[in-house]
Structure formats: C-alpha cells, structure tokens
Amino acid sequence: MQEKLKNIRSSPYISGGDTSVSIMIKIIISLLPIVCFAVYKYKLNAVFHIFITVLACIFVEYLFCFITKKRNTVKDGSAVVTGILIALLLPAYAPYYMGVIGGVFAIVVVKKLCGGIGKYIINPSAAAKCFLFLSFPTVMRVYSNGAADLSVKNLIDGKNIDTLSLIVGDSVGSMGEVCAAALLIGAIILVVSGVIDVYIPASYTISFLIMLIIFGGRGFDAGYIAAQFAGGGFLFVAWFIATDYTTAPITYKGQVIYGILLGIFTAMVRIWGHRNEDIYFIVLIVNLFTPFIEDITIPKPFILGGGKNV
Amino acid sequence: MFNDSIKYFWEQILGEDKFNAGIISAAIFVSAVQNSISGIAVGLAIILTYVLSAFICSFLAKVIPIKIRLFVYILINAIIATTISMFLLNVKLFWNYTALIDYIPVIAVSCAIIVCIDCPRIDKDYKSSLKDAFEIGITGALLILLYGVFREFLTSASILGINIPPVRGILENFHFFEYSSGGFILMGIIAGCMQKIHIVMMRKKFMDDGVKETAASELDN
C-alpha cells in the first residue's frame, strides 16, 4: 500500500520529451550545414571563430553564475547556441577577440542582466552583432580580403546581382549569410524537427515580398526580388534569429503580426537604407514590440473580460 | 543652508518612485558632443533656468486655479529655458561645437518638466521655492559633470581635458561610448553603482542610528 502511494502526482502524466537541451541540440544540428559551409569557404578562420566564441560564452555564463551565487545555467545549452550564432555573424577576417567581446555582451548584459533565459527582451545574438558593429566600425566591415562590395549594397546602388552566386555561396558577407542553400537546408531541418512554427518566416517573407513589389521601384523584377531574399542575411534572420522563443510572441496571431512588422521595416531599410547590417537593428526594434503584441493577442480569462467571442 | 540637496542628489540619479527624465537625459545628449569642461556652462545654464522659473512660478501659484497650474508652470519654464539656452549657449567663449544646437529643445523641455515635478515647495513663498530650485540645479549640474567625466574618459581617454596616453592606446578602437547607445548604457551602469553606494550608506546609517531614528529623519525631509 505504501509503495502505491509513492507514485501519486497530478497531471500531466505524459510529456513530449522536450527539454531545453534537446531543443538546443536540434538547433545545433540545423546550424551544421551553415557551419560546414563556413569552414569549407573560410577554412581555419571559421573554426577558430566558432570555437573561441562558444568557449567564451560558456565561460562567461559560468563565471556570472559563480559570482552572483546563483544556480548554474550553462546546462541549458543556450550559451552554445548563442555562441555559434554570434560567431556566424562575424566577418571571417575580423580579429578573434570580437567573438569574446560579443559573447560577453550578449550573455551578461542582454541575457543575464535582463532576467535570464526566458525573460530577456531583445535577441542576444543580434544585439551582440549590433554592439560590435557600433563599437568597432573599421574591423567589423572587413568582409573579404579584396575590395568586393556587399550584395545588398549593390542592390541599393541599382546594379544587378547574380542570384546563383548568392545561393551557391560565392558572395561576400558574414560567415553565416553567404550561402543561401545551406541556410535553406538548415531551415528545413528546423521545421521538420519541430523546433519552430513557420508562421514567423512565412509572414515575414510575404510582407517583405509585397513591400518590395510595391515600393521597390522595380515592380515584379524576379532577379531583384530573388537577390533581396537570398542575400544580406534575410534568411538567417528569418529562420534563426527572429524565431527565438523568448523574443517572439506566443500565439499564432501574434507571430503573424510580428512577421508583418519585420517585413515592413526590413523592406524600408533595404530600399531606403545604407547598410547591410540594418536588418539586425530592425530585429531589435521589432523585438521591443513583442510585449504589446502579446498584450493584444493573448486570450484573456473570462474574469478579465475575455471569452466574449467564444 | 543646503539641507535637502543630498536628498535631491540621490533622487535625481536613482529616480526613486518616479519617472526620471530630465537632468539624466540632458546629460547624455550634452556629453556626447563636448568635453566635460564645457559641460559646466550647460550646468550653469540649467541652474539659472531652474532658479528663474521657480521664482516666477512661485508668484503665480496664488493667482492661477489649481487645475491649470501645472500647465502654466510648464509653459513658463519652457519659455525661460529656451531663451536662456539660446542666449547663454551661443556665447563663443564656452561653445566649441555647433552640433548641440539641435539638442537645445530637448534640454529646455526636460528642464521645464522637471522643475514642475521635482520642486515640492514651489507653491509656498518665493524663498523656499528659490532654495529648492537652487539645490536641484546644483546637484543636477554636479551629476552632469560626473557623468561627463566618465564618458570623456571612455571616449577620448582624458579627464577634464588632460590626456592620459596609455589608456588612449587601449580605447582607440572602441567607439561604443561615443554614440547615444553607449551613453544610455553608461548612465545605467553609473546609476547601478550609485544604487549600491546608496544601499551601503543606508545600511550603515541604520546600524549607527537605529531603525526608528533613520525612518523619522527620512520622513521629516
């Protein structure tokens, strides 16, 4: 009789098997095509960047938890993912301490000081990229050894770009942005393994497309639109950065609104902006809208005035 | 004479129980463009603005009905602040940069609002309102100077205009604190450090005087 009483608990009795670590492992698997392409293209630079950044993120998170005498949160696995994302956003020829400084800023200032893993307001990887871009403007713009221009800058200037080179990986940009094919493979892995829902990337893509058609100045030019999608970090942001659980709205309706806002602002900076990296600032700005979107779209309990439309 | 100035000092930097917009936002815009020495001129302008507005508004307190009193205060303070800023800050002696002309409305309006919210004795006679405004102005100018010293050290490695070459080499490539984004983060860091200092001071005061005496003295102020 006493042995039966030991197993009494309340619902739920069945779990899906998702832990924080398992989700992070799926994200790392989906980032593997991009990492492999970066290593193939940039050889040892990419390896060192990723290695140093991930180690720095883990070490800084452990050090922060040790100094503030709190529970060790390195076991979540989120420091690894943040480290890989920051490393993929660096230019390949940047000095190696960029990853360390970006990792420290992302983990300590953006993640830990804003509440920890479920409670930060802006995306740490995008914030680290923006911080590094603002603080070290000369070294963070060295995307190639030669004098080749960034793809998006060419589009803004009015030249035409070969989209095939963007897809295959012949273009110029930070390590994660150059190959659209690898990014698409990673996106497929993300969706198939069930980590993200397609509402954010789909609404982002559709609103970006509509804004480009209306305001782009070139109508339905297929080459221009394809180049805008394949280059400049659009795919990276749409599938890996904007879909972060903490900074995106919870409900499907909210995610659609979030994607629409992202698409509108991204189209504005792509058409009338100057820089390739404006998209990461846009991600930060729209992340700040998320509390308002959740306030509007999360259904309220009956006692607070909800349930009238049921 | 300066009874409440310490209280106003901590209130301005920590913003206890109220929305703190005023001296702090002015400090961020002011120190981005210039050395901290020329920030003293802005500090003087702010003190003068506060004192004059408090003086004029204390006379109008009896005449104007309660409901529109705040709006009239804001209007008068905005007029005084804008005219003083335009007059004083155009003097070529103090002013080296012309990019700040765009930010004068920000400083003027923020000063205008903060006098109305901060100055608790503006409705009494003119002497106590003058004293309050002077104390708020002095502490605000001191805070701007302190913040400007930190920011100047982090951007161009010089304190009050004196260069320090070894630090210059480290900070040469780090431009984060030159822009407004770094300015806001630096203000957050400074506010955090001041909060810690304040907590340590209060704890020491509690242990020395006892809980009841400290609470009574805080309430009296």
Q: Where are the domains of chain A?
A: 22-297
pLDDT of B99 > 70? The answer is: no
Separation CA A233–CA A174 (nearest Å): 8
Is B2 within a domain? no
Containing structural domain, residue B179: 7-220
How far away is chain A from the Cα of B208, in angstroms, using its nearest Cα? 28
> Which residues in chain A touch residue B182, judged by CB atoms under 8 angstroms apart?
134-135
Beta strands per DSSP E along chain B: 158-159, 162-163
Separation CA B48–CA B53 (nearest Å): 8
Which amino acid would we find at residue A140?
M
Confidence band (pLDDT; 50, 70, 90) for B92? very low
> Which residues in chain A touch residue B185, judged by CB atoms under 8 angstroms apart?
109
User: Which residue shows structure tokens 């789909």?
Assistant: A202
User: Which residue shows structure tokens 């955090």?
Assistant: B192
| CATH classification (class only), A22-297 | mainly alpha
> Which residues in chain A touch residue B175, judged by CB atoms under 8 angstroms apart?
134-137
Interface test with chain B among A134, A280, A284, by most B beta carbons within 10 Å:
A134
Q: Is A134 on the interface with B (CB under 8 A)?
A: yes
Separation CA B32–CA B23 (nearest Å): 14
**Average per-residue pLDDT in chain A?**
88
Residues B154/B177, Cβ–Cβ less than 8 Å: yes
Interface test with chain B among A109, A133, A135, by most B beta carbons within 10 Å:
A135
**Count of the separate structural domains present in chain B:** 1
User: Which residue shows structure tokens 């508004």?
Assistant: B57
- By C-alpha distance, the chain B residue nearest A132 is B176
Separation CA B140–CA B100 (nearest Å): 19
pLDDT of B105 > 70? The answer is: no
Q: Residue A59, exposed/middle/buried by CB under 10 A (0-12, 13-18, 19+)?
A: middle
Separation CA A86–CA A98 (nearest Å): 10
Helices and strands in chain B: count of H runs, count of E runs: 9, 2
**With left for phi above 0 and alpha for psi between -120 and 50, is residue B22 left, alpha or beta?**
left
- The 10s digit of each residue's pLDDT in B41-77 is 677 777 887 788 888 888 888 888 888 887 888 788 7
Is B1 within a domain? no
B37 versus B9: the higher-pLDDT residue is B9
pLDDT for res B19 = 62
How far away is chain B from the Cα of A113, in angstroms, using its nearest Cα? 11
Separation CA B42–CA B143 (nearest Å): 12
Preceding omega of B120 cis (within 30 degrees of 0): no
| Residue among A226, A262, A256 at smallest CA distance from A242 | A262
> Which residues in chain B touch residue A134, judged by CB atoms under 8 angstroms apart?
175-176, 179, 181-182
Separation CA B76–CA B168 (nearest Å): 45
Nearest to A137 among B175, B182, B185 (CB): B175
Is B186 within a domain? yes
For residue A102, give both structure tokens. Answer: 């970006």
Percent of chain B with pLDDT over 90: 1
Which amino acid would we find at residue B4?
D
* pLDDT by residue, tens only, chain A of 310 residues: 566 667 777 887 888 888 899 999 999 999 999 999 999 998 888 999 999 999 999 999 999 999 999 999 999 899 999 999 999 999 988 899 999 999 999 999 999 999 889 899 999 999 999 999 888 888 887 777 665 556 666 666 666 667 777 777 777 888 888 888 999 999 999 999 999 999 999 999 999 999 999 988 777 877 788 888 887 889 999 999 999 999 999 999 999 999 999 999 999 998 888 788 889 999 999 999 999 999 989 888 888 877 776 5
The average pLDDT across B108-123 equals 65
Separation CA B70–CA B60 (nearest Å): 11
Positive or negative, the CA dihedral A273, A277, A282, A288 is negative
Long-range contacts of B167-175 (CB under 8 A, 24+ apart): B173/A136, B173/A138, B173/A139, B174/A135, B174/A136, B175/A134, B175/A135, B175/A136, B175/A137
pLDDT of B204 > 60? The answer is: yes
- The 10s digit of each residue's pLDDT in B154-185 is 887 777 767 777 777 777 777 788 877 888 88
Cα→Cα distances B196→A15, A76, B22, B190, B203, Å? 44, 30, 22, 10, 11
Nearest to B176 among A134, A138, A139 (CB): A134
- The 10s digit of each residue's pLDDT in A242-259 is 999 999 999 999 999 999
Binary contact (A134, B179; C-beta < 8 A): yes
Cα→Cα distances A110→A116, A161, A196, B80, B194, Å? 9, 36, 22, 41, 21
Q: What phi, psi does B162 have (nearest 5°)?
A: -95, 120
Separation CA A186–CA B78 (nearest Å): 57
pLDDT for res B93 = 43
- By C-alpha distance, the chain B residue nearest A139 is B173
How far away is chain A from the Cα of B178, in angstroms, using its nearest Cα? 9
- Confidence check on the interface: ipTM exceeds 0.90, yes or no: no
Radius of gyration of chain A (CA): 21
For A173, which DSSP code? Answer: S
Residues B51/B129, Cβ–Cβ less than 8 Å: no
Separation CA A136–CA B146 (nearest Å): 26
The average pLDDT across B10-36 equals 69
